[in-house]
Chain A
Amino acid sequence: MKRVEVIIDNQVLSVRQDIPLIQALREQGILLPSLCYHRLLGGYGSCGLCVVEIYTEAGWRPRHACLLQPEAGLQVKTNTPTVLRLRARAARLLLRRGPFPKKEVEELLGHLVQKGEKTCFEPDDKEAAARSRAGNPAPGCILCGLCVRICEKIRKSRLTFLGRGKNLQVSFVSAEEEAAACGSCKACQRICPTGFIEPSAREAFKARLYK
């Protein structure tokens, strides 16, 4: 297991190189907020909460820590005003997809919103937020894809994303031999960060390609 030296918030740390930065930092006790990352499924870059700044040729630039592979000499900042502002922005967008059955999620997001300083470019658009909440066919799902990915990983593959853009939804695809196909493992239910999948995938996901 190869390790490399990186600089995190001005401190030199030795971290594993074969896993995404978010996980390497976790193993050193540095916990970045995240909703769409799972160590078995790898980085996905959908929630936007794990953002950090890294030093590049062009100066400090924001990156998703779940999509970043540690390499020797990598310089990372996890707490700058830019980072906090971007996290707050991501959190505000995610909150529009609520309310969430798991109260911890509401709390985490609310907390991140508070920590980020708002700039004049980001008015807290209450109307837009209300509109997108009202038009959301699946309130409580943040479309993190963890359920789809775990279902595929365990080779059952009964879940998929349907549509695109603002019509994107998770869908459940039934199989002929239902008993063998879905309902017993509950892997999606356990991995869902928001508690959306209740009582089962079949019932929680309403979207279907074939009605």
Chain B
Amino acid sequence: MRVPIISEVGGVSCVDELWEKMSEPGGRVINILNQIQKDVGFIPRALLAEVASRAGLAESQLHGLVSFFSSYRTRPTGKHLISVCYGTACYARGAPLIYERLVEELQLDADGTSPDGLFTVEQVYCVGACSRAPVIVVDNQVMGRVKASEVPFLVRKLRNTRD
């Protein structure tokens, strides 16, 4: 297993360290944000502010940048991340039905997270398995030919897995 570069949130030193590690100056900011997203699971504001000051940019500029890419998250996700593919094939084969069923079942808030903090649901675009549409990705595992009627069972199974 790869050891995450950022283990704690908010230390000045970790951004400084990352900055030295990332070589190409042009891609530094984006690469560091990617790394933070990977290690922490989202981009905490404190870290974003530090990246900004390290790069000599206004914090507001990075707010704009982060908001542009839907893959960046600004809040922690639930324990389980469910991505519903909204690519053309999946959309045509019923992705919205699955998504709506998830919303109903999990009572998601505006960020797509359930009140108990167990689930986050997001929409993504073509995960590259169109032949198995409609596709959802549950905690990095691709599931094909999903039916909306299976949603409650899937949710129950995930709720019961304890690790």
Contact = CB atoms under 8 A, between A and B. Distances in A.
Interface of A: 152, 157-164, 171, 173, 175, 209-210
Contacts of A175: 59
B67 interface: yes
A159 B60 contact: yes
The dominant DSSP class at the B interface is helix
Contacts of B63: 160, 162, 171, 173, 209
Contacts, number: 37
17 contacts: A157-B59, A157-B60, A157-B61, A160-B60, A160-B61, A161-B64, A161-B67, A162-B63, A162-B64, A162-B67, A171-B60, A171-B64, A173-B59, A173-B60, A175-B59, A210-B45, A210-B74
B58 interface: yes
Contact of B68 (A159, A164, A171, A210): A164
Given A152-B58, A173-B59, A210-B45, A160 B74 contact: no
Query: 5 tightest A-B contacts by CB?
Result: A157-B58, A160-B64, A160-B60, A173-B60, A162-B67
A20 B118 CA distance: 55
Contacts of A164: 67-68
Contacts of A162: 63-64, 67
The dominant DSSP class at the A interface is loop
Given A164-B68, A171-B64, 9 more contacts: A158-B60, A159-B60, A160-B63, A162-B63, A171-B60, A171-B63, A173-B63, A175-B59, A209-B74
Nearest to B58: A157
Interface in B35-65: 45, 58-61, 63-64
Nearest to B72: A209
A136 to B, nearest CB: 18
A173 B66 CA distance: 13
A36 to B, nearest CB: 18
Contacts of A159: 60
Nearest to A169: B67
A89 B58 CA distance: 36
Interface string B62-99: 01101110000010000000000000000000000000
A153 to B, nearest CB: 12
Contacts of B67: 161-164, 171, 209
